[in-house]
Chain A
Amino acid sequence: MPKRVISLTVNGSSYEVAVEPWWTLLYTVREELGLTGSKEGCGTGDCGACSMLLDGRLVTSCIVLAVEADGCQVTTIEGLAQGGQLHPVQQAFVEKGAVQCGYCIPGMVMAAYDLLRRNPRPTLEDVRLGLAGNLCRCTGYTKIYEAVLAAAERLRGDGGKG
């Protein structure tokens, strides 16, 4: 069977890409489109390192077949920074020291970005639940939670008083 050509809009750019039916979205984005920010950790949807938005919904792209994403809008970690400026979530991760080895961070940032779109005023518990599908083996999570809460405050622009 020949490869199938699918259409993907990734971070606003349109791509036509020939894929095998058993290729995952993660593999396709990394190996065919060269966007290697999203990582493969477990490969079974448990660790969240490959998290990206598929038609606006957070998914673990290591268990999404690329053919299933045909015609969809995809946002990866590469799509968050605008005009050379880190997204406030990314900036907060840097400032709070939330990154150690860094492997889980693209997925963490995507999950945090998704959480803050849905809930601009999360409690610590909301953040913990929002990131429950993302594993970090270095940090112990505390700095990551601090970064997400700081980013929420910055995105609201109320200095935490609202």
Chain B
Amino acid sequence: MRPFAHFAPGSLDEAVEIFRREGEGGRPLAGGTDLVVQLKEGGHKFPYPRYLVSLRRLPELRALEWRDGQGLLLGAGLTMAEVARAEAVRGRYSALADGAGLVGSLQTMNMATVGGNVCNAAPSADTAPPLLALEASARIVGPEGERLVPLEEFWLGPGQTALRHGEVLVEFLLPPPMPRSASIYRRHTPRQQMDIAVVGVAVAVALDEAGRTLRKVRIALGAVAPTPMRARRAEAALEGQAPTDEAIARAAALAREEARPISDLRGSAAFRRHLVGVMTERLLREAIERARRS
């Protein structure tokens, strides 16, 4: 690796102050599983940083707290392993536990953080579709104060986010799930581990009291567009409807149309589109079944 400076602040205020004082050319460092590899490869995905600010010792990034009426506060600094096994996540936001439990190897999951996965802004990030489907927002703190950004507005393109220089993604806010709801994330990969999604799909559904109609449907897709995306037309086609085979098939077909995949070494655009249809249909069925039983 080429030289850079490294700062290890002990608080969020101190981190923000370092970015302010040092100026341009700084990057936050979380688990490092993406960033250190990119630095080793010469930093061609972004200008090589002059300095790194470690987020490892910031207590503000470690929240894992359920608040009645508000939902779950999930610290951006929690590792994939911590998120995947957290009871608060597994119970109420299982799609996110699914996604966090799939990232790289055990070694990766022990270092990589959920905030890092989101900020690296890979279209294939395994926590991205779950967080979108669960309608998470990101609390961002920087020199100008703090702001809450819905994740749908956070990604601007591959490797591009709404974060401005000196801003730190502190935590995610996940609204409380509705009664009779369930969420699932699954991805297609040739191998179970140490792989990157060809396509990732997250769905979150809520049924009405009688279990007859869908009150809410969220469908989020990974690795089929420049950013993780919602399949809004598919969602709208199902909301308020009875979850019949026909309605589910129609929604899956819409999601397939909404995807904007490219062809690359992991799969052709046509194959990705096909996967979106198949996976969306399967996951909707499974989530609806789980919501019925919840």
A residues in contact with B39, CB < 8 Å = 22
A residues in contact with B36, CB < 8 Å = 24, 45, 63-65
| B42 shortest CB reach to chain A, Å | 12
A44-94 contacts to B, CB under 8 A, are 44-46, 48, 51, 54, 57-60, 63-65, 67-68, 70
User: In whole angstroms, what is the CA distance A70 to B193 when docked?
Assistant: 30
| B43 shortest CB reach to chain A, Å | 12
Cβ–Cβ contact B107 & A68, under 8 A: no
The bracket for how many chain B residues form the interface is 20 to 34
Cβ–Cβ contact A22 & B104, under 8 A: no
| B48 shortest CB reach to chain A, Å | 11
**Is A20 in the interface zone, CB < 8 Å from B?**
yes
Q: Which residue of A lies closest to B110 (CB)?
A: A57
**Is B105 in the interface zone, CB < 8 Å from A?**
yes
**Is B37 in the interface zone, CB < 8 Å from A?**
yes
User: In whole angstroms, what is the CA distance A134 to B33 when docked?
Assistant: 16
Cβ–Cβ contact A63 & B29, under 8 A: no
A48-B105, A70-B8 given; A22·B110 CB < 8 A: no
| A64 shortest CB reach to chain B, Å | 6
Cβ–Cβ contact B4 & A48, under 8 A: no
B residues in contact with A1, CB < 8 Å = 5
Type the 1/0 row for B187-205, where 1 means its CB is closer than 8 Å to any CB of A.
0000011100000000000
| A114 shortest CB reach to chain B, Å | 8
Cβ–Cβ contact A45 & B192, under 8 A: no
Q: Which residue of the partner chain, among A24, A65, A68, A132, contacts B193 with CB atoms under 8 Å?
A: A132
User: In whole angstroms, what is the CA distance A1 to B110 when docked?
Assistant: 31
Q: Which residue of A lies closest to B112 (CB)?
A: A45
| A28 shortest CB reach to chain B, Å | 13
**Is A37 in the interface zone, CB < 8 Å from B?**
no
User: In whole angstroms, what is the CA distance A54 to B81 when docked?
Assistant: 14
Cβ–Cβ contact B110 & A45, under 8 A: no
**Is A111 in the interface zone, CB < 8 Å from B?**
yes
User: In whole angstroms, what is the CA distance A43 to B40 when docked?
Assistant: 8
**Is A21 in the interface zone, CB < 8 Å from B?**
yes
A63-B36, A133-B193 given; A68·B29 CB < 8 A: yes
**Is B56 in the interface zone, CB < 8 Å from A?**
yes
**Is A33 in the interface zone, CB < 8 Å from B?**
no
A residues in contact with B56, CB < 8 Å = 68
B residues in contact with A45, CB < 8 Å = 33, 36-37, 104, 107-108
Q: Which residue of B lies closest to A133 (CB)?
A: B105
Q: Which residue of the partner chain, among A65, A111, A132, contacts B194 with CB atoms under 8 Å?
A: A132
A65-B32, A65-B36 given; A60·B3 CB < 8 A: no
**Is A129 in the interface zone, CB < 8 Å from B?**
yes
| A104 shortest CB reach to chain B, Å | 13
**Is B236 in the interface zone, CB < 8 Å from A?**
no
**Is A130 in the interface zone, CB < 8 Å from B?**
yes
Cβ–Cβ contact B107 & A22, under 8 A: no
| B109 shortest CB reach to chain A, Å | 9
Type the 1/0 row for A111-151, where 1 means its CB is closer than 8 Å to any CB of B.
10010000000000000011011100000000000000000
10 closest Cβ pairs, A-B complex: A133-B105, A21-B6, A132-B193, A22-B1, A57-B110, A63-B36, A60-B107, A133-B107, A44-B37, A67-B6
Beyond A44-B37, A46-B194, A67-B54, 14 extra complex contacts between A and B, CB < 8 Å? A1-B5, A44-B40, A45-B36, A45-B37, A45-B107, A48-B105, A60-B108, A63-B33, A63-B37, A65-B36, A67-B8, A68-B8, A114-B106, A132-B105
Complex A-B: 19 CB contacts under 8 Å: A4-B6, A21-B6, A22-B4, A44-B40, A44-B41, A45-B104, A46-B194, A48-B107, A51-B107, A59-B110, A59-B111, A63-B40, A64-B32, A64-B36, A68-B56, A114-B106, A132-B193, A133-B104, A134-B105
